[in-house]
Structure 1
């Protein structure tokens, strides 16, 4: 009887799982839209979680130093020390954000205005150069002249559109951009407030998570999960914080180099290079392309020197600065790093490119432990030893 009961329960579970999977597949667009709506509502909270996670190591270091200065502090004093550590950490975060904004906005404005002024002159130069090249090619010259006149007429017709419509279009575009910027500023402000609460309650949340873990799972599985959570925290914290420090150093070196060589908008270029350097592998190229195009409009030789400079700077980062700061944090080969960036970058965009490597390292570690557990269960320890000897140590 019990056997048939188990078979019936198993069949019902399989049938229910199939129905659930079919429902999810048919309702996927609705589910995605609902998740996007929830994510949009919780954006300030997500910002706060990210800020708190990045600031937690700094906050812990400040607390540790202050406790060393006041080793016999009472409970109220210790709470006040924790409060001071949180305030200092948030002040550092606000100062960094404000410094980056004040460096970017004036440089962006100046660069945009100079590009607007340079484009007509550059177009004339390019037009004259093409005409000079086609002097001995009458057929190509006739085709180019026809193309130029058609483009000019299209531009004239575009400029002759009703002024009120153009003004309305510009105002609508600016309004959308302004609301977008204000939304980001609001999320950052609320995120910093939420991060203060999270930093103040991080030890309480840790204790509560421990109670839940040991209350739901057996001691054996609770210990395994705790170890994996610690490994995940170590992986993400070490990678992200190390990458931010590494990118800040690269940004400063880029600013020094571009300033010495007299490039256009050195602060703007350096901030772009520093921020995009957080993205592994593709980051330097993503940042160098727009900066190179900006310099190309100003001076083609500066663009060439900039490309050479970025190549040298990235070699210095990849072979000296990065290994010194990060070491082999993830323990994942270059192939899997590239795979993780492409996979998670395709799924989640820039955020996926940043967190893809440590996330894949955690998944890789879980799979490795499961495989090793299975090999030990089947008395295949010699295979593990051979693999570790041949590949893991190298």
Structure 2
């Protein structure tokens, strides 16, 4: 044996194969997971502070993502023959967004504010009317007054506490000076970052692809980018469609409120339109507080509004929603329910909104993986073995 052979043998002891590396990574991940569980509170605080620093850029990304579809439309259809089409498209989209925002604020905010002030100012009158109605029902139908009175007292206490909390918070809500002073830097940063993201997406996206291909094998990089394209299509179709759908439902609710003489039509329509963004539970979440408010103002109006909300929900679920959203998620009702409950439990309102498209992407990936595994094993979804290609099936003749 030569002198170099022992050195080569010694070096082999320090060479790790792929299986050893994967086992080592599993052990390290397990240790990190155990440490994270033991220090979950500290990690949560650090993560929250880190997200607060990134909040303007996250908001800017959300704005850019929402405006990317109309910007692409202007870039491809309107300014396609101009040299500065990207800059003109970005400018047009932001000007249109500003005009729409100003119009909505001038139309909605004053009426909503007036409705809230009127509701708070006339709360005692509404309570007395509700007591008179309850007493008339007891006298007319010879009801047991004690149980109904106890229920009314509990309901009134709940409303009084809610009114007191809203009254105390009302000056803070309308004190825009403090909110504007504390959030102006974040708002400007988010706006500027969204403009840069939209204007520079032609360079930003290729740079991200270059990084992925530099550190990830080509086949896996292609697969990852395909998943990203599929996820982007699902998210864009769902979010844009849901915003349009909710805007139409809000306008319809306002018009029908005026027709059926529902008190505070703008306030009720805004609540219904905003909560309708949440799939499945949205109409219920929006209808409950509106009915509670209308019940103390005008119980018969609350009844009319309940029927109106049911009709709107049926129209949205069976006609308007399928026309706008189509089959953008491909999920059945049970999986939509699971996605909303889990997403809302983990991340609140954003989780309820984004849980459905996120689960749709995961669902499609799991479906592809399952189908590939079944195909590789030569069986179908019921466990029956598929007939091999080229084999003669029973009852057929071979030449």
Q: Same fold (TM over 0.5)?
A: yes
Corresponding residue number in structure 2 for 1:91: 95
Offset of 1:341 from its aligned partner?
0.2
Distance 1:170 1:243 in 2: 31
Corresponding residue number in structure 1 for 2:121: 117
Offset of 1:55 from its aligned partner?
0.5
CA contact (8 A) 2:253 2:269 kept: yes
Residues 292 and 362 of structure 1, relative CA distance in 2, 3 Å threshold: same
Distance 1:30 1:214 in 2: 35
CA contact (8 A) 1:213 1:222 kept: yes
CA contact (8 A) 1:345 1:352 kept: yes
Residues 233 and 23 of structure 1, relative CA distance in 2, 3 Å threshold: same
Corresponding residue number in structure 2 for 1:277: 276
SS in 2 for 1:42: helix
Corresponding residue number in structure 2 for 1:25: 37
Distance 2:332 2:271 in 1: 27
More helix by share: 1
Corresponding residue number in structure 2 for 1:240: 239
Corresponding residue number in structure 2 for 1:356: 355
Residues 64 and 31 of structure 1, relative CA distance in 2, 3 Å threshold: same
Matched, 1:202 2:201: yes
Matched, 1:250 2:249: yes
Show CA shifts across 1:126-157 (max 9, x none). 445666749x999959x98xx99xx9xxx9xx
Residues 20 and 137 of structure 1, relative CA distance in 2, 3 Å threshold: closer
Matched, 1:334 2:329: no
Offset of 1:386 from its aligned partner?
8.6
Corresponding residue number in structure 1 for 2:264: 265
Offset of 1:103 from its aligned partner?
3.4
Corresponding residue number in structure 1 for 2:391: none
Offset of 1:306 from its aligned partner?
1.1
CA contact (8 A) 1:90 1:192 kept: no
CA contact (8 A) 2:79 2:88 kept: no
CA contact (8 A) 1:247 1:278 kept: yes
Residues 82 and 30 of structure 1, relative CA distance in 2, 3 Å threshold: same
Offset of 1:97 from its aligned partner?
3.0
Distance 1:374 1:15 in 2: 27
Offset of 1:180 from its aligned partner?
4.7
Residues 180 and 28 of structure 1, relative CA distance in 2, 3 Å threshold: farther
Offset of 1:117 from its aligned partner?
3.0
Residues 208 and 292 of structure 1, relative CA distance in 2, 3 Å threshold: same
Residues 111 and 37 of structure 1, relative CA distance in 2, 3 Å threshold: same
Distance 1:97 1:203 in 2: 27
- Structure 1 stretches of 5 or more lacking a match? 160-168, 388-394
Residues 183 and 107 of structure 1, relative CA distance in 2, 3 Å threshold: farther
CA contact (8 A) 1:100 1:271 kept: no
Offset of 1:38 from its aligned partner?
1.1
SS in 1 for 2:291: helix
Distance 1:274 1:137 in 2: 38
- Once the two structures are superposed, the pairs formed by residues 210-229 of structure 1 within 5 Å of their partners are 210-229=209-228
Distance 1:172 1:116 in 2: 12
Offset of 1:108 from its aligned partner?
2.8
Offset of 1:99 from its aligned partner?
3.3
Q: TM-score, normalization: structure 2?
A: 0.79
CA contact (8 A) 1:44 1:188 kept: yes
Show CA shifts across 1:242-278 (max 9, x none). 1111111111111211122232222222222111111
CA contact (8 A) 2:127 2:296 kept: no
Corresponding residue number in structure 2 for 1:379: 378
CA contact (8 A) 2:130 2:296 kept: no
CA contact (8 A) 1:243 1:326 kept: yes
Distance 1:85 1:261 in 2: 42
Distance 1:386 1:232 in 2: 32
SS in 2 for 1:329: coil
Paired residues in the alignment total 359
Q: Cα RMSD over matched residues?
A: 3.5
Offset of 1:3 from its aligned partner?
8.4
Residues 139 and 363 of structure 1, relative CA distance in 2, 3 Å threshold: closer
Residues 64 and 386 of structure 1, relative CA distance in 2, 3 Å threshold: farther
SS in 2 for 1:278: coil
SS in 2 for 1:332: coil
Distance 1:59 1:216 in 2: 32
Q: TM-score, normalization: structure 1?
A: 0.80
Distance 1:117 1:313 in 2: 30
- Structure 2 stretches of 5 or more lacking a match? 1-8, 386-399
- Once the two structures are superposed, the pairs formed by residues 286-297 of structure 1 within 5 Å of their partners are 286-297=285-296
Corresponding residue number in structure 1 for 2:394: none
Offset of 1:22 from its aligned partner?
1.9
